[in-house]
Amino acid sequence: MAKMFRSILSGVGHYVPEKIVTNEDLSKIMETSDEWIQLRTGIKERRHFTPGVDTCANMGVKAARVALERAGLSPDDIEFIVFATLSPDYFFPGSGVLVQKELMGDKTVGALDVRDQCSGFVYALSVADQFVKTGMYKHVLVIGSEIHSTGLDMTTRGRGVSVIFGDGAGAAIVSRCEDEGRGILSTHLHSEGQYAEELAVLDPGSSREVRLSKEMIDEATGIYPYMNGNYVFKHAVTRFPEVINEALASNGLSASDLDLLVPHQANLRITTYIRESMNLPEERVVSNIHKYGNTTAASIPIALSEAWEAGRIKPGDLVCLAAFGSGFTWASALIKW
Ligand code: UT7
């Protein structure tokens, strides 16, 4: 077998739009309250994009520039782009090509879009890892970016979902690593499509007789995210510990070996449940949902970048990323930093 390489995250970065939307702000446009949102989700505020300033792709580019600088690399070093989002700029083409245009200019590289919602970043990272491990590429740019705010039902009817989601972007550079002691140790990916409709935006769908009708817009059901909240919650609290333990066990490690767990930020109650059930101290689990809400594919790279900035990740640390969301999909990545 040909020599396999190891891949590391040589740089991480994030970008969030300037506009802060507090729970108080939302309670002025729908029947909700700061108390309800904080108690049920832990969210205090989230960011909403500014039209004309932020796009899904350019927020990813802004996060990527930070990650590149921290990696000591330039856009010229990037050989492949993997872009995870559920809120792309266009129905097609994917946002990855827009990143290629904005970041790389004349240099043409492959750009792949990943559609695995809250698990999107870990899925994207696993793709990058395979390309780097095999020696195909030395540096792959991985982005998770979302604009939820234009796709939410901002009336009382949609409050169960619209108070949760926020906009933002995060990025990582996955690079070839010569040091045997470091790297992405493993990734584990799962899906269970029988639950596809439990958390979904169904319209405009290609399999309908009419892709987008006036009725769809007037009824405003399928065009906004639907979430069977309690149901998703129950699956999440099972799958998160399961996929984290799968990562640890496949590397002969246990929860006590973990220096930092970076879970997808879906709900503070879910994060607290994982932390307690895995017996992890508070300082070993990242939580920033109070500031950004749930930014789906962007949530893990934003949390990772903030944790790195705060000095919570040092060389040699064992870091686990874990996600669960629409699909259902769930995934983990274990990294020796
Ligand atoms: O990121 C992908 C994965 N996503 C998740 O993992 C999310 C999982 N689910 C959740 O986080 C929670 O289910 C939610 C935060 C979405 C909802 O919390 P919950 O504790 O499950 O509340 P609920 O949906 O059971 O609603 C309880 C009550 C209802 O009123 P009644 O029927 O008891 O009178 C809702 O109508 O709260 C009401 N409600 C609200 N009230 C004020 C729902 N949304 C709101 C709101 N403000 N925004």
Residues 173 and 198 in one domain: no
End position of a domain, from candidates 181, 208, 228: 181
What's the domain count of the chain?
2
Q: Is the CB of 333 under 6 A from ligand 1?
A: no
Q: Is the CB of 289 under 6 A from ligand 1?
A: no
Asked about 294 being catalytic, the answer comes back as yes
Question: Using one digit for the tens of pLDDT, what is the confidence trace for 155-211?
Answer: 999 999 999 999 999 999 999 998 888 999 999 999 999 999 999 999 999 998 999
The verdict on residue 211 lying in a domain is yes
Residues 165 and 230 in one domain: no
Please provide residue 47's backbone torsions phi and psi, each rounded to the nearest 5 degrees: -105, 145
Residues 84 and 210 in one domain: no
Residues 236 and 313 in one domain: yes
Q: How many angstroms is it from 160 CA to the middle of ligand 1?
A: 5
Rounded Cα gap, residues 134 and 114, in angstroms: 20
Residues 241 and 314 in one domain: yes
Q: Is the CB of 41 under 6 A from ligand 1?
A: yes
Query: Could you identify the atom of ligand 1 that is nearest to the CA of residue 227?
Result: 16
166 to 95, 98, 169, 228, 239: CA distances (angstroms) = 18, 22, 10, 19, 23
The verdict on residue 1 lying in a domain is no
CA angle 280, 284, 285 (to 5 degrees): 85
Element holding 98 (H helix, E strand): helix 95-99
Q: How many angstroms is it from 225 CA to the middle of ligand 1?
A: 14
Residues 206 and 296 in one domain: yes
Residue range of the domain that includes 143:
6-181
The verdict on residue 144 lying in a domain is yes
Residues 79 and 199 in one domain: no
Question: Using one digit for the tens of pLDDT, what is the confidence trace for 262-293?
Answer: 999 999 999 999 999 999 999 999 999 999 99
Q: Order of strands, edge to edge, in the sheet holding 168-177?
A: 6-15, 168-177, 139-146, 80-84, 110-114
The verdict on residue 218 lying in a domain is yes
Residues 201 and 89 in one domain: no
120-133 and 299-309 are packed helices; what angle lies between their axes, rounded to 10 degrees?
A: 70
End position of a domain, from candidates 181, 203, 227: 181
The CATH number covering residue 10 comes to: 3.40.47.10
Rounded Cα gap, residues 185 and 320, in angstroms: 10
Task: Give the DSSP letter string of 277-336.
Answer: HTT--GGGB---HHHH-B-GGGHHHHHHHHHHHTT---TT-EEEEEEEETTTEEEEEEEE
The verdict on residue 153 lying in a domain is yes
Residues 38 and 167 in one domain: yes
Residues 91 and 191 in one domain: no
The verdict on residue 210 lying in a domain is yes
End position of a domain, from candidates 132, 162, 181: 181
Residues 283 and 166 in one domain: no
CA angle 307, 327, 242 (to 5 degrees): 60
The verdict on residue 53 lying in a domain is yes
The verdict on residue 118 lying in a domain is yes
How much is the pTM? 0.97
Residues 48 and 104 in one domain: yes
Burial class (CB in 10 A: 0-12, 13-18, 19+), 214: exposed
Question: Using one digit for the tens of pLDDT, what is the confidence trace for 69-100?
Answer: 999 999 999 999 999 999 999 999 999 999 99
1 — pLDDT class (breaks 50, 70, 90) = low
Question: Using one digit for the tens of pLDDT, what is the confidence trace for 204-259?
Answer: 999 989 998 998 888 888 999 999 999 999 999 999 999 999 999 999 999 999 99
